[in-house]
Amino acid sequence: MRCSCKICGTYMVQREHGLASSCVCPDCGFACRDCMGSDQPPMSAEELRRRPEALLNRQGEED
C-alpha cells in the first residue's frame, strides 16, 4: 500500500527492513507503520511467551 504523510501530505516511500519495515516521508522524515497492519513494533520472544498466559487469565475472570 502507498499512502500520503499525515504531517505534510507528501507521498511516502516504503523502507524495507524485515519486521522493522515502515513508510517514511522523504520531505519531513515522518515514519509510520499504519499500512503494515499495526503501529506497534513486533513483540519480543518473551512478550509472545507471556501472551497465552495473559489470555487465559482474562478468560478465567470472565467465567
- Asked if the structure places residue 8 within a domain, the reply is no
The predicted-structure confidence for 17-46, as pLDDT tens digits, reads as follows 777 788 899 999 999 888 776 666 666 778
In-domain check, residue 5: no
The verdict on residue 6 lying in a domain is no
pLDDT at 10: 92
- How many domains are contained in the chain? 1
What integer pLDDT is reported at residue 34 of this predicted model?
81
- Residue 46 in any domain: the answer is yes
Query: What is the DSSP annotation of 1-57?
Result: ---B-TTT-PBPEEE--GGG-EEE-TTT--EE-GGGT-SSPPPPHHHHHHHHHHHHH
Given pLDDT bands bounded at 50, 70 and 90, which one contains residue 61? low
Percentage of the chain beyond pLDDT 90 is 21
Indicate whether 7 belongs to any domain.
no
Give the predicted TM-score (pTM) of the model.
0.53
